[in-house]
């Protein structure tokens, strides 16, 4: 008997309309855990590096994490993986909500889509009854509207639906997959889903999930709940709310946006807005949010309420994710009323809430500087907010200039030319980032930005404080109950981390400490993404209820896979390295691993080189960022080293990378 997982994937050949229930190898779970880990193995095995994102041979995988659907609090993530049209690398984007547990209850761990449907369809999974249904009546419908139509059509309000909007149908490179209270937005997952001709996947399940040792497992779950309650009653002093709370920044509940509005350069703007946040604006925004918000909402089996139902005058009620609240507002340098309204329209269209505002602001900056003209943008309204609505419509419909902008700032700039490339300044590996403009280079964040293959900083950071506490006694108090550290040395790192003068900040923490911290933070995110755990209860906040010490117990008691801390670390290293191997095989090299040029005002090229050199060595990669033969074979990835040798990516001396050409 399989525990925690069902042991079956649903394979859907869209070209032929064939659906097959396929038993999976339990050994794969032991090696790669599930979720992102086994997704990476499927991509490696079945998607050759020459495969175009819009090829029928590209896979689109919807995966429930290993522990999804069990009583583990907050374990509800769906991990979507494919080859991204924007980065040309492996994309993996997570969404919460209820979809992944429902898939488990229907009897499947993954839905694997391949091929292309000759007509628009949706997949209906009802336990053992699975069928492709005509979706021609859903063409052009909004993502959330589509879900409601399907529930009415199938006469069951409990059906969970993951769907795309018009942006996905038109293969907008930053199209999302929406699921009501959550979405998989990064990497253009929705574009691949639209290219395959799939409007939605609807699922309803009523089966049970078995756990290996139920009594022990429930005791672990209760310990987590007890810790959450204790932490809520004992918040961490001296740090900003984003780290003090479990889960999201609680943007739907807390309305003091001074930190966001004055420290983030949203959209494509290079300027901070010091002095923007006033008592009048704070009052106005608070009233807007309080009047619009109907109730706070959470995902499956989770105490956090990081989303909300929003009702704007004249519009239907919709569910909003926390981080989308300000992105459109700040890109347009407008007010919150505008932001909430355009976010609703964008959600129905199905577009990424980080990339989309930046792409629109990028276009307007090009227009204001004369690189784009009235000839390029005929009919552009004169009003600021109206321009954003106009551009959004053009982009999702791929009309006129929108057809170019729909490929994202990197690819659009290459097509536009005339110096547009310097305006596409907020990308990493061709993908728009959270728009931060800061002063002094931070070594930890430098490495996370460069080497993170989620290509999304909010899903890399966490665990270790973002800045030192001013006083030694504060640091001593903080480390007293810091049980989550994987090694006692991290406590000493933090105790010794002092505020320094401006010129010395970049050189402390040391390079070696930086590597340790980044590796720890990244490892926790990769574990979450295999198990299906929300980062808000594990890898993202300080002192979370899930950590490196109790995760092996959950895996052992839940999935019946005997696991200790070293075994868990080794598994996480294995599939993290496999993700990198997929991308290396697709042409990614050291030259691609750099943050936006103007992300920090003060940069230190020699230190940055030293950081990358040392981290590569720390991870067992050569100086081009390629895992060495020794590293691969120590992780049991001999098949990767053999492939790399055959392709000339590694040479027989196991060190030197041959020149790789960037795939455009």
Q: How far is CA 278 from CA 257, 283, 332, in A?
A: 10, 9, 18
pLDDT at 502 over 60: no
Regarding whether 104 and 195 lie in a shared domain, the answer is yes
Residue 492 makes CB contacts below 8 A (sequence gap 6+) with none
Q: Domain containing 139 — which CATH number? A: 3.60.9.10
Question: In which band, very low, low, confident or very high, does the pLDDT at 245 lie, cut at 50, 70 and 90?
Answer: low
Residue 611 has a pLDDT of: 95
On whether residue 42 sits in a domain, the answer given is yes
Q: How far is CA 161 from the centre of its chain?
A: 19
The residue out of 388, 410, 432 marking a domain boundary is: 432
The string of DSSP letters for 367-388 reads: HHTTSS-TTTSTT--SSHHHHH
271 shares its domain with 399: yes
In this structure, the answer to whether residues 188 and 266 fall within a common structural domain is no
pLDDT band at 252 (very low <50, low <70, confident <90, very high): confident
Q: What is the pLDDT of residue 663?
A: 39
Same domain, 194 and 250: no
Residue 264, strand partner residues: 436
Q: Is residue 585 over pLDDT 50?
A: yes
Q: If you average pLDDT over residues 455-480, what whole number do you get?
A: 84
Domain presence at residue 181: yes
pLDDT at 240 over 60: no
**Average pLDDT for 239-258:** 61
Tell me what the mean pLDDT of segment 71-76 comes to. 97
Quote the CA–CA distance of 157 and 256 in Å, as a whole number. 36
Checking if the pLDDT of 583 tops 70, the result is yes
What percent of the chain is predicted at pLDDT more than 70?
A: 91
The pLDDT assigned to 85 comes to 98
Give percent above pLDDT 90 in the chain.
73
Domain-embedded: residue 636: no
* Average pLDDT value over all residues in the chain: 91
Mean pLDDT, residues 389-399 taken together:
98
Domain limits at 379? 241-432
Q: What is the pLDDT of residue 306?
A: 82
pLDDT of residue 263: 65
Compute the half-sphere exposure of residue 268: CA atoms within 13 Å on the CB side of its CA. Answer: 24
124-128, 261-265, 290-294, 439-443: range with lowest mean pLDDT:
261-265
Q: 163 lies in a domain?
A: yes
Residue range 165-184: mean pLDDT, rounded: 95
Identify whether the C-beta of residue 342 lies closer than 8 Å to the C-beta of residue 389: yes
pLDDT score of 273: 60
In the prediction, which pLDDT does 661 show?
Answer: 38
124 and 37, same domain (yes or no)? yes
Assess whether 119 and 200 both reside in one domain: yes
Mean pLDDT value across residues 61-72? 98
Band (pLDDT 50/70/90 cuts) for residue 480 is very high
Last residue of a domain, one of 402, 432, 462: 432
What is the domain count for the chain? Answer: 2
What is the β-pairing status of strands 121-126 and 129-134?
Answer: antiparallel
In a domain, 579, yes or no: no
More confidently predicted of 310 and 558: 558
Q: Using the predicted structure, report yes or no on whether residue 391 has a pLDDT greater than 50.
A: yes
Residues 56 and 156 in one domain: yes
Neighbours of 620 (CB within 10 A): 16
- The per-residue DSSP string of 251-295 comes to TTT----HHHHHHB--TT-----TT---HHHHHHHHHHHHHHEEE
Give the per-residue pLDDT at 282: 87
Q: Tell me: do 190 and 259 sit in the same domain.
A: no
38 within a domain of the structure (yes/no): yes
Average pLDDT of 299-326?
85
H helix intervals, 532-604: 551-559, 565-585
Residues 406 and 259 in one domain: yes
pLDDT of residue 591: 96
Q: Domain for residue 220, yes or no?
A: no
Kindly tell me if the per-residue pLDDT of 411 is higher than 50: yes
Residue 477, domain member (yes or no): no
Listed ranges 311-325, 330-344, 624-638; the one with the highest mean pLDDT: 624-638
Domain boundary among 405, 432, 459: 432
**Does 280 share its domain with 180?**
no
Same domain, residue pair 379 and 290: yes
Residue 70 predicted with pLDDT over 90? yes
Q: Would you give the end-to-end CA distance of the chain in angstroms?
A: 46
pLDDT category of residue 271 using cuts at 50, 70 and 90: low
The CATH code of the domain that includes 297 is 1.10.569.10
Q: Based on the domain organization, do 58 and 189 belong to the same domain?
A: yes
DSSP character at residue 243: H
């Amino acid at each position: 008997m399989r525990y925690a997982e069902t042991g079956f994937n649903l394979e859907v050949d869209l070209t032929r309309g064939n659906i097959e229930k396929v038993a999976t190898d339990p050994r794969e779970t032991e090696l790669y855990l599930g979720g992102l880990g086994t997704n990476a193995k499927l991509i490696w095995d079945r998607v050759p590096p020459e495969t175009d994102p819009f090829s029928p041979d590209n896979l689109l995988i919807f995966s429930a994490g290993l522990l999804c659907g069990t009583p583990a609090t907050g374990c509800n993530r769906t991990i979507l993986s494919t080859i991204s049209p924007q980065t040309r690398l492996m994309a993996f984007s997570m969404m919460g909500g209820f979809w992944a547990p429902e898939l488990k209850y229907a009897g499947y761990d993954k839905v694997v889509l391949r091929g292309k449907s000759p007509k628009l369809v949706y997949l209906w999974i009802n336990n053992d009854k699975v069928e492709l249904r005509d979706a021609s009546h859903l063409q052009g419908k909004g993502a959330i509207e589509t879900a409601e139509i399907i529930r009415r059509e199938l006469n069951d309000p409990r059906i969970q639906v993951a769907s795309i909007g018009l942006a996905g149908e038109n293969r907008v490179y930053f199209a999302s997959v929406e699921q009501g209270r959550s979405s998989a937005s990064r990497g253009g997952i929705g574009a691949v889903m639209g290219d395959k001709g799939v409007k939605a996947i609807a699922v309803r399940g009523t089966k049970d999930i078995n756990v290996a040792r139920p009594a022990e497992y429930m005791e672990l779950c209760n310990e987590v709940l007890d810790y959450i309650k204790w932490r809520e009653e004992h918040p961490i002093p001296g740090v900003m709310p984003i780290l003090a709370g479990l889960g999201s920044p609680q943007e739907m509940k807390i309305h003091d946006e001074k930190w966001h509005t004055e420290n983030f350069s949203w959209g494509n703007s290079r300027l901070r807005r010091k002095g923007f946040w006033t008592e009048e604006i704070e009052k106005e925004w608070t009233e807007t949010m309080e009047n619009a918000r109907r109730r706070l909402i959470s995902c499956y089996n989770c105490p956090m309420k990081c989303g909300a139902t929003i009702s704007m005058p004249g519009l239907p009620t919709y569910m909003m994710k926390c981080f989308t609240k300000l992105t459109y507002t700040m890109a347009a340098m407008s007010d919150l009323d505008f932001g909430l309204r355009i976010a609703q329209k964008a959600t129905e269209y199905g577009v990424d809430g980080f990339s989309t505002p930046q792409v629109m602001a990028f276009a307007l900056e090009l227009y204001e500087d004369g690189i784009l003209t009235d000839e390029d943008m005929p009919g552009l309204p004169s009003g600021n907010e109206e321009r954003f609505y106009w551009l959004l419509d053009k982009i999702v419909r791929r009309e006129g200039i929108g057809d170019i902008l729909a490929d994202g700032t990197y690819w659009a700039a290459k097509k536009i030319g005339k110096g547009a490339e310097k305006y596409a300044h907020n990308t990493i590996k061709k993908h728009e980032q959270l728009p931060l403009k800061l002063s002094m280079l931070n070594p930890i964040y430098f490495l996370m930005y460069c080497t993170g293959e989620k290509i999304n900083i909010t899903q890399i950071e966490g665990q270790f404080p973002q800045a030192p506490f001013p006083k030694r006694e504060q640091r001593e108090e903080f480390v007293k109950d810091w049980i989550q550290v994987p090694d006692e040395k991290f406590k000493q790192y933090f105790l010794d981390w002092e505020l320094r003068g401006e010129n010395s900040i970049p050189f402390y923490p040391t390079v070696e400490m930086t590597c340790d911290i980044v590796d720890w933070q990244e490892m926790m995110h990769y574990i979450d993404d295999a198990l299906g755990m929300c980062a808000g209860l594990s890898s993202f906040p300080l002192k979370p209820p899930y950590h490196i010490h109790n995760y092996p117990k959950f895996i052992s008691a839940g999935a019946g896979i005997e696991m200790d801390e070293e075994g868990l670390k080794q598994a996480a290293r294995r599939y993290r390295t496999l993700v990198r191997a997929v991308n290396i095989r697709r042409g990614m090299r050291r030259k691609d691993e750099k943050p936006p040029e103007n992300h920090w005002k003060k940069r230190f090229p020699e230190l940055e080189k030293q950081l990358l050199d040392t981290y590569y060595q720390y991870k067992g990669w050569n100086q081009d960022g390629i895992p060495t033969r020794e590293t691969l074979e120590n992780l049991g990835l001999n098949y990767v080293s053999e492939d790399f040798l055959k392709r000339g990516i590694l040479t027989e001396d196991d060190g030197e990378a041959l020149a790789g050409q960037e795939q455009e």
